[in-house]
Structure 1
Amino acid sequence: MNQPMTITRNDFNQWMVPVFAPANFILVRGEGSRVWDQQGKEYIDFAGGIAVNALGHAHPVAIQALTEQAQKLWHIGNGYTNEPVLRLAKQLTDSTFAEKVFFANSGAEANEAALKLARKYGNDSGVEGKNQIVAFNNAFHGRTLFTVTAGGQPKYSQDFAPLPEGIQHVAYNDLNAAAAVINDQTCAVIVEPIQGEGGVLPADVEFLKGLRELCDRHNALLIFDEVQTGVGRTGALYAYMNTDVVPDVLTTAKALGGGFPIGAMLTTDALAKVLTVGSHGTTYGGNPLACAVANAVFDYINSPEVLEGVKARHQQFVAGIEAINAKYPVFSQVRGEGLLIGCVLKDEYAGQAKQVTNLAAEEGLLALVAGTDVVRFTPSLIIPEADIIEGLQRFERAVARLVK
């Protein structure tokens, strides 16, 4: 048997397609909200795998679900169904507006399914040219050609032209701009209740209500991309529940599997009928392993204790960040909901969000950016209070270094 090879960070540059620029350390182990690198250095995790590790690392509930299912059935393909996928579909439909679910492996795939559903809905409507999609500047919906075009960040899409047509972008939170372009040719409007990658920017409730009215008036589908905001991240099970606005289609991924890849598109009975046998599909989507883990993770999060705990932790984070900012005034505002938090840098520190997270890593804290001017925290939904306190102390040291 071969000896296990020694792996170093340089091997990434050697063997990997260079679409990422990972940190110069390699993480090898995690427990709760702490992780360790190859050298044994410990970090507190405020990044949460980009809002994925909703129960932190190596949570017993997820481990038990995975290991139990791993001894039974891994994959059978979509010519057959399985028990975990049906249980998960029941949990999702019982807990939301939805009546039908399509499972995929990622947020991009969930959004791809939603956009394809919308196009087919428009094409089946009998209204000529009803194929236009309205999306928003600075949005992020994934990296497939369709979803990256729907995303409102040309830096991610312009190199891959020609792009799919019929997608128009307007300013986020600007209802008048949306009203000017939504018409009877619109088949869908896709929006994030909080723009995550776009800077942790919450939608005004009146804006979302206005989009709902415009979609109703023009017989267009309202799609909520809740890939980042879903499964407890905002303190509600899904962010739409904070707004009194119910979408026609909702996409969910990230936290749904707590670290195991899974995504889903949720919709109503009436709209699900638009997609018929063979009109869309996936090989891995809804596989028993992913669904078994997601069942356990979703069930654990979908409880008053966890969801109320997210709101309490939000207050603790904001108070801690504001205390740091009182000493070292580098942030113009702290925004977001629940444990999707954005610290917006003042103009004099514009463009330095990555510098802050690099310094934080040196101090033993994992954090994210959301664009060049916002430091983003998306930790475990059940991160212990002690880890929040210690993590913010490390963050303060990083901010102090930035100022100096």
Structure 2
Amino acid sequence: MNSQATDSWRQSADRDLILNAGPRFELLVRGEGSHLWDGEGRRYLDFLAGIAVTALGHSHPVFVEAVSRQAGTLAHVSNYFATPPQLELAARLKRLAGAGEDGRVFFGNSGTEANEAAFKLARLHGGAERPRILSLENAFHGRTIGALALTAKASMREPFEPMPGGVEHIPATIEALEAAMDDRVAALFVEPIQGEAGVLELPEGYLKVARELTTKHGALLIVDEIQTGAGRTGDWFGYQHEGILPDAITLAKGIGGGFPIGALVAFGPAAALLQPGSHGSTFGGNPLATAVSNAVLEEIEQAGLVRNARERGVQVREAIEGIGSPLVTGVRGRGLLIGVALAAPVASLVVSAAQRLGLIVNAANASSVRIAPALTIGDAEIAEFTDLFAAALAEVAATALTETNA
């Protein structure tokens, strides 16, 4: 693609797309495995996976076959009817999550929709006697109004206030949770790892204490697994690292491998809260989306990709630490959800330098780079990543640290 053509797509994007995401970085036209190509034929190593979405990488044969087969069979019928892929996926998610026979699944099309359903679940459980819903500082649960009320980011919330009432944001500490919890709390919403905040892990033992306190006070424990689920952290779901069972979890991103789907999985008595007419989704749980999700999750299971995420995550973190960049002050996360803490607020510069070199990563905030590659990566991809990321860090460090010390 020549410069005139490049100018043309940028002009089209500026003219025709709502600017909620800002200017697009590139025009990407093709993907295979952990690589993407732009309109000029340039190759990029994708270590973001569409923000923890393309769990199998790009154009994986299992994904392609599932889309093609189901599209030629049955794509949509509405939720007045059930379909085999929908029933199969509901049973699969219950099994993987340990929800038991009395668990139930609601399907939507995205993570924010799953959290909207969970918000309503909390309200139904709480009623007038339990008006309080707790969420954590630095939390991100989505951008629709209910999910945004749970999200503790003032810059996202303020233009759309007033938010739905009753939500309180507390520090992500055990002490703050103990102080806040009482019998008027309907639910506690938590992410096992706060991805949008820079891949911040909860304190050790937090989820166990949260489970104990919510049980004691009759509140729901709702775990947002949208970014951490589907094997990304080295277990199927983040809460499983602490051996607890929540009352509900929300899912999206990796469970579809690139196809839009979200889900709320409710456990025990919480599974009976949503009744006919209390919630719905025209497209949620359609046979095309659920067939693809079944295929993606089956491949993750059969190919041992949960274990691969656990082992390759250690390898990636060690590789980053081994670079020895003065710009890197720490490496956080679990499995293949990794945050790189920087010594200066230059994450966007690191991301831009990496992209120029042919590497796609993400600035979760001004001083954190987020890394979330496909669960299928191996030695070759990690070696390529290490070289490219080291070069990007070196390019930025030479200027950034000089300016910081001046």
TM-score under structure 1 length normalisation: 0.94
User: Which residue number corresponds to residue 337 of structure 1?
Assistant: 334
1:22 deviates by 4.2
Alpha-carbon distance, 1:79 to partner: 1.1
Aligned to 1:362: 356
SS at match of 1:14: helix
Q: Kindly provide the CA deviation profile for residues 311-350 of structure 1, in whole angstroms up to 9, marking residues without a partner as x.
A: 22112211210121x2x2111110100000000011xx1x
The equivalent of 1:15 in structure 2 is 16
Q: Secondary structure of the residue that 1:298 maps to in structure 2?
A: helix
Q: Which residue of 1 aligns with 2:62?
A: 61
- Name the structure 1 match of 2:92: 91
Percent sequence identity over matched residues?
43
Runs ≥4 residues deviating over 3 A: none
User: Within 2, Cα distance between the matches of 1:40 and 1:62?
Assistant: 24
Distance 2:94 2:362 in 1: 32
Q: Deviations over 1:170-194 (max 9, x none)?
A: 111x112112222111000000000
* Alignment-mate amino acid for residue 43 of structure 1: Y
**Structure 1: any 5+ residue segments left out of the alignment?**
none
Secondary structure of 1:335's counterpart equals: strand
Residues 129-171 of structure 1: CA distance to partner in whole angstroms, max 9, x if unpaired? 3121000110000011011110111111111011111000111
Q: How far apart, CA to CA, are the structure 1 residues paired with 2:303 and 2:183?
A: 41
Shift of 1:107: 0.5
Q: Is the 8 A contact 2:207 2:239 kept in 1?
A: no
Deviation string for 1:94-133 (max 9, x for gaps)?
222222110110010101111101101111xxxx431210
- Give the match for residue 206 of structure 1: 205
The answer for the alignment partner of 1:170 in structure 2 is 170
Tell me the amino acid that sits aligned with residue 194 of structure 2: Q
Q: Deviations over 1:57-108 (max 9, x none)?
A: 0000011011000001111111111111001011111222222110110010
For 1:253 and 1:55, locate their aligned partners in 2 and report how far apart those are by CA, in whole Å. 14
Q: Which residue of 2 aligns with 1:379?
A: 373
RMSD value, Cα: 1.4
**2:113: which partner in 1?**
109
- Which residue type is aligned with residue 107 of structure 1? G
Q: What is the CA deviation profile of residues 15-61 of structure 1, one whole-angstrom value per residue up to 9, with x for unaligned ones? A: 11111124432000000000000000100000100000000000000
Paired with 1:23 and 1:143, the residues of 2 have a C-alpha distance of: 20
Contact 1:258 1:294 in 2 (8 A): yes
Alpha-carbon separation, structure 2, partners of 1:303 and 1:310: 14
Alpha-carbon distance in 2 for matches of 1:24, 1:257: 24
Structure 2 contact 313–334 (Cα < 8 Å) conserved: yes
Give the match for residue 389 of structure 2.
Answer: 395
In 2, distance between residues paired with 1:272 and 1:315? Answer: 36
User: Residues of 2 paired with 1:84 and 1:21: CA distance?
Assistant: 37
| 1:118 and 2:122 matched | yes
Is 1:194 the counterpart of 2:193? The answer is yes
Q: Who is 2:401 aligned against?
A: none
- The number of residue pairs the alignment matches comes to 390
Deviations along 1:209-250, one digit per CA (max 9) or x if unpaired, are 111111011100000000000000001011111111211101
CA distance in 2, matches of 1:88, 1:169: 33
> Partners of 2:393 and 2:351 in 1: how far apart?
9
1:205 Cα deviation after fit? 3.4
Report the counterpart of residue 297 of structure 1 in structure 2.
296
> Whole-Å Cα distance in 1 between the matches of residues 268 and 82 of structure 2?
19
User: Residue 387 of structure 1: CA displacement?
Assistant: 1.5
Give yes or no for contact 1:254–1:261 (8 Å, CA) kept in 2. Answer: yes
Q: Secondary structure at the match of 1:28?
A: strand
Q: Tell me the residue number matched to 1:134.
A: 134
Distance in 2 (alpha carbons) for counterparts of 1:40 and 1:8: 15
Structure 2 segments unaligned to the other structure (5+ residues): 399-406
Name the aligned partner's letter for residue 143 of structure 2. R
Aligned match of 2:318: 319
Are the equivalent residues in 1 in contact too, given 2:13–2:24 (CA < 8 A)?
no
Code of the aligned partner of 2:198? G
Contact 2:246 2:267 in 1 (8 A): no
Equivalent position of 1:82 in the other structure: 83
Distance 1:364 1:352 in 2: 18
- Aligned partner of 2:306 in structure 1 is 307
Q: State the TM-score, normalizing by the size of structure 2.
A: 0.94
CA apart distance, 1:303: 4.0
Q: Distance in 1 between matches of 2:23 and 2:232?
A: 25
Assess if the C-alpha contact under 8 Å between 2:247 and 2:268 holds in 1: no
3-state SS of 2:304 partner: helix
Give the letter aligned to residue 377 of structure 1.
Answer: I
SS in 2 for 1:205: coil
| Distance across 2 between alignment mates of 1:269 and 1:212 | 14
- Give me the whole-angstrom Cα distance separating, in 1, the residues matched to 2:199 and 2:75: 36
In structure 1, give the amino acid aligned to 2:131. N
Amino acid paired to 2:255? L
